[in-house]
């Protein structure tokens, strides 16, 4: 019996992707609900207009962190200007 592992792997990926998308969607909706419960803005904008997976968002953040660590002081300041305004200095330092 000849097993084609690449075909099996491909089939598993295609089966997992819709599940991952639903989990990511639920994750974002739960975060929006928490924001509402904490008194946040109920009419917030779509947090994922481009349909990014949570893993893709995390990969992007990891890349930004690497740029920050390897950047000059001027680059670091420039990168931190995209941080949310409510972040204080301590949170930025931990980032």
Kindly state the tokens that stand for 92. Answer: 């930025």
Residues of the chain with pLDDT below 70 are 1-3, 40-49, 95
d(CA 69, CA 62) in angstroms, rounded, equals 11
Query: Using CA atoms, how far apart are residues 54 and 30, in angstroms rounded to an integer?
Result: 13
**Torsion angle, alpha carbons of 10, 13, 17, 20, to 10:** 180
Predicted structure pTM score: 0.50
Return the pLDDT at 2: 57
């Amino acid at each position: 019996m000849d097993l084609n592992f690449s075909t099996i792997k491909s089939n598993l990926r295609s089966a997992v992707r819709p599940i991952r998308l639903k989990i990511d969607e639920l994750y974002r909706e739960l975060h929006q609900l928490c924001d509402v419960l904490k008194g946040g803005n109920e009419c917030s904008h779509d947090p994922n207009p481009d349909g990014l997976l949570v893993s893709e968002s995390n990969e992007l953040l990891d890349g930004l962190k690497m740029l920050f660590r390897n950047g000059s002081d001027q680059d670091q300041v420039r990168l931190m200007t995209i941080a949310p305004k409510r972040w204080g200095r301590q949170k930025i330092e931990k980032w």
